[in-house]
Structure 1
């Protein structure tokens, strides 16, 4: 197993350095090369190592472009005062070194994203006039009209003469997205979440991140995540669920990826139901182990009057270990289904009685009701302190700190986590159950001291 050396933890850049964002980007790239080299191809490794070996201004401009949205840029819109060379000169060098494509082929959507209405109107005035439209049509209308007559991708020069508005395309954007995924453990976070922050202001727990604790064990794991992310993006764009369904990767053995697949199937089922494909929704939810998916499957079967099928699934599920939320939802469904399938209603689960007592106090004038209650209950032999929610959380943290910060796969991806990435996931406790039980056992034998 890889050992942990605190001296190898990467340092963070100082915001006083105008190129601090570049220093942080170099930290990301070096971290991925050091910890995930076996998940990269030889050509990908060469590209990243070449990036690190570029001149400072070239790396800085590339970093700025990687951080921006999309991979197409107008050269006349790039202005970064911290660079000590003119941007056009840097761009020319990056084009000659194959980091930028100088004459990219673009479609109409990309053209309309890059140029303003004032720039597009004179360029297409004659076309619009020939089609029976005036020069003052809104941008959306212009795009809709032109899309029926100007289809296909073409170089910028074939659209219109843009003058100094040179368009370039950033190469290797897919590789930088892959690097971002392996560093953050998700594609939700942008580069600016790391590159544009002063990390030195935050104290981070030093977690021994080894090969054994990585979320991605092999390259196919990264490919699987990227495929699931593409499915999720399509669902966000409201692509019909039956079109997305064949693209969903099959079952995976990686526990962390399996939980993400379960959430993807939950969302695909929701979309399928909204779009009227109930059968696909049932199939997707049946394959998901997410607790919401299983409850949604049963509720949809109820609405479809397939009561016996829902009853059989619910009774089978009832024999498994369930969370409180799952148990409550399942009990309500079984209670509704029982009379419809001719079965007795299940006995309600036993609940512990809660001992309650009440105190009535005069309304306090200078303090809150919590402080007034603390003063009323205070005794010399049993002092009372008002601590809001901090006491139990604090004691729990002290007792279980090694478990919370245990580097299980999918919990820590880099040295700059304030807590485990899966802290709010439904399987957080289950994946550490034995360790938590060991911590609580020390309360009985005094080992916690």
Structure 2
């Protein structure tokens, strides 16, 4: 269940002009609060009060309101809050968990507040005041729950993604921050972008474990990648192949699962950003996530062909495929997946397969050329095809950990490109 401790500190009761509780509001900046318009509409032109669980009271007025989204922004000049929530314009996903904290109109609820939790039941795509219908997992909604109107709806990352409103008989509803974004931005309210919307949220974490000069060079290129593509583009392009073994279910279900697994989700997109940054360093192509390609200039291809002693150099176009897994054993998942690709007829020359996992020990032990031959030999052809020469299949296998370890010690842009070229050339040798 999603914790609401911080949200509770940021959340206050809204009292009407007669000091009677009407609903809930929460701080979104030092002196601004967000609530539902219907909570304050009967006294919106007056000065009224907010009150916290310690019975502290401060005067507030309505700074701005939006009938389309049933929202109101309150302002106080008597108090600066040190505790504020972070708003996020996350695209709501059906069945994902949420939690909220507010002041229902009950004896205890109006004094100390109450937590409520559930899942997203439905999304409303037609023009409507609220766009999310919430399910409360067996909790009977009574009229006293109207006091929850104006409460923040938390996602698993502790971001408020919607404002709760009690308007329907059978369900609680909410207005998503995504739907109300224009109104909030108009009032200079800070909003965090959806984690899938762009890579900006991951740039600061990219290469944070490295040192300069590589760190500075890496993060600069990561910003360039963030302008060209996004996690959303990658997720849509890969679908169930976003992870290996391939996950079943719709893309929304897969994304919902990832968002519920914070550590996995963070590592997945950080690694993707760093991986594409390596491609960016080599001026590769990644507009199509299923056809990421780099060029290895002046590669001595004669070393890749058994029996050829005369040096032959030429440029090689190498296709890169990045796989993220929850598995713990690098060799096992690499072997399993390469075999599957072979049997499916999708394994080709001049491909390099990079594997990564959120598990810290994954990929620390490299797959040696001899290890690769054990895998490649098995995939050289169907069982009745006779003897095949394993070395003739230029198939690279790397762990992302190995790739990063070998390049992040680079001291200049030239070092980075040279080292990356060598790493990928060695991988297919």
TM-score, length of structure 2 as denominator length: 0.30
**Hey, which of these two has a bigger chunk of helix by percent?**
1
TM-score, length of structure 1 as denominator length: 0.29
Larger RCO (alpha carbons 8 Å, 6+ apart): 1
Larger radius of gyration: 1
**Hey, which of these two has a bigger chunk of strand by percent?**
2
